[in-house]
């Protein structure tokens, strides 16, 4: 291991508890992964590990090539993406495809799952239109570094007043107490988090999505897996043919509902 790589690994451990290259299996480096810590059932952090549908699929794909995988994570979504950009993390388990992210990671051709994105609102201040002109000036809560695809991101910046937050729970709680007006979020993960927090009597979503987008696996341009993307893509196709996504969503939805993951204190940013 050269000195530059060692320095990068040590630096990344300020945020991640393991680093690619620290241990090897049959001559292959340990592959590090990270993901959104706030988006069940796709991915979330539990007991210091990123878990969910996407991490499970990614771990199976990478393991099929003979690599060991580290799922340890102690970082937010913004830091996960930054570490992939720096080359300290090999794989982002699930992300929407954007031009900015294409600068530092390549996506597998095969997506994990298609998810409609809709607008959530407080029932005391209902939203009845999904037309951007009608939403102009509303305050929207969005996680740092979150994206809903380039086109929707542009519309959000053009029409809405953005208030950034650090966690999904914080965002949902702010909507419940009317600190924000709307919250763009996926139908699968959004409804699940609202249910988990027992806010279904306070929060609901528009029936029609503002867009539908795919979750993709992202490979850092610095990762040794860049040479094996075709194999990884084929492994993902095979898993999907076995209904791994549908089974995973069912399993991790139930696991999240039964977990204590939302028992942490919610801190509001003024």
CATH of the domain at 119: 3.40.190.10
| Domain assignment of residue 243, yes or no | yes
Q: Same domain for 171 and 124?
A: yes
DSSP line for 18-79: --TTSSEETTEEPEEEE--TEETTTEEEETTEEESHHHHHHHHHHHTTT--EE-B----HHH
Contact 182, 207 (CB under 8 A): no
Q: pLDDT for 83-104, tens place per residue?
A: 999 999 999 999 999 999 999 9
| Domain assignment of residue 177, yes or no | yes
Domain residue limits at 253: 3-112+215-263
Q: Same domain for 154 and 198?
A: yes
Residues 6+ apart with CB under 8 A from 198: none
| Domain assignment of residue 270, yes or no | no
Q: Same domain for 26 and 108?
A: yes
Note if the bond before 41 is cis, omega within 30 degrees. yes
Residues 6+ apart with CB under 8 A from 266: 167, 169, 170, 173
Q: Same domain for 221 and 155?
A: no
pTM of the model: 0.84
User: pLDDT under 70 in the chain at which residues?
Assistant: 1-26, 261-270
Q: Same domain for 192 and 232?
A: no
| Domain assignment of residue 197, yes or no | yes
| Domain assignment of residue 66, yes or no | yes
Give the residue among 267, 233, 243, 253 at the shortest CA–CA distance from 110: 233
- Indicate the number of domains in the chain: 2
CA–CA separation, 234 and 121 (whole Å): 40
Q: What are phi and psi of 111, to 5 degrees?
A: -80, 165
CA–CA separation, 24 and 160 (whole Å): 48
Q: Same domain for 117 and 203?
A: yes
Q: pLDDT for 121-176, tens place per residue?
A: 999 999 999 999 999 999 999 988 888 889 999 999 999 999 998 888 899 999 99
Q: Same domain for 230 and 147?
A: no
| Domain assignment of residue 19, yes or no | yes
Q: Same domain for 33 and 83?
A: yes
């Amino acid at each position: 291991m050269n000195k530059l790589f060692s320095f990068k690994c040590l630096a990344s451990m300020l945020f991640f508890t393991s680093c690619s290259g620290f241990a090897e299996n049959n001559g292959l480096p340990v592959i590090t992964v990270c993901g959104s810590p706030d988006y069940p059932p796709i991915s979330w952090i539990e007991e210091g590990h990123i878990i969910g549908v996407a991490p499970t699929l990614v771990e199976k794909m990478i393991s099929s090539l003979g690599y060991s995988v580290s799922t340890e994570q102690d970082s937010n979504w913004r830091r996960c993406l930054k570490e992939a950009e720096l080359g300290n993390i090999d794989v982002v388990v699930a992300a929407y495809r954007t031009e900015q992210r294409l600068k530092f990671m390549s996506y597998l051709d095969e997506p994990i799952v298609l998810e409609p994105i809709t607008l959530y609102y407080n029932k005391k201040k209902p939203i009845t239109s999904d037309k951007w002109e009608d939403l102009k000036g509303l305050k929207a809560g969005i996680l740092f570094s979150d994206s809903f695809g380039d086109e929707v991101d542009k519309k959000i910046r053009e029409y809405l007043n953005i208030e950034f937050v650090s966690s999904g729970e914080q965002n949902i709680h702010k909507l419940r107490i009317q600190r924000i007006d709307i919250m763009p979020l996926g139908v699968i993960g959004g409804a699940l988090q609202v249910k988990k927090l027992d806010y279904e009597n306070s929060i609901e979503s528009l029936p029609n999505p503002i867009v539908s987008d795919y979750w993709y696996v992202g490979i850092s341009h610095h990762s040794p897996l860049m040479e094996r993307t075709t194999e990884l893509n084929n492994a993902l196709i095979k898993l999907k043919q076995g209904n791994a996504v549908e089974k995973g969503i069912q399993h991790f939805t139930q696991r999240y509902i039964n977990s204590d993951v939302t028992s942490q204190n919610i801190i509001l940013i003024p």
